[in-house]
Amino acid sequence: MAHRIAVIGAPSLVGREILRCLAETSLAGAEMVALAHGRAAGAEISWGEKAVLKTRDVARFDFTGTD
């Protein structure tokens, strides 16, 4: 079963570092959800070597099914 992981504050320096570290682990195959607050929602963030994640608004995100 694949994991679904949400990272709150993904556009921040710490959030980007967390994503970078996760991309280097066995969790690289997980469904990754990048979350941000307010105006930062909608930003694009690199995930792994080629993928790009579009951040979602944390206030509207449904955490059901997230690990």
Whole-angstrom Cα distance, residue 24 to residue 63? 24
How many structural domains compose the chain? 1
Instruction: With respect to residue 36, please indicate whether it lies within any of the assigned structural domains.
Output: yes
CATH number at residue 35: 3.40.50.720
For 9, the domain range is 4-60
Instruction: Answer for the pair 65, 15: CB distance below 8 angstroms, yes or no.
Output: no
Q: Bridge partners of 3? A: none
pLDDT at position 49 is: 81
pTM, 2 dp? 0.86
* Per-residue pLDDT band at 11 (split at 50, 70, 90): very high
Contacts (Cβ under 8 Å, ≥6 apart) of 61: 6, 33, 35
Helices and strands, counts by H and E, the chain: 1, 5
**Tens digit of pLDDT for each residue in 26-53?**
887 889 999 999 899 999 998 888 889 9
Whole-angstrom Cα distance, residue 60 to residue 26? 28
Looking at the chain, the whole-number percentage of residues with pLDDT higher than 90 is 67
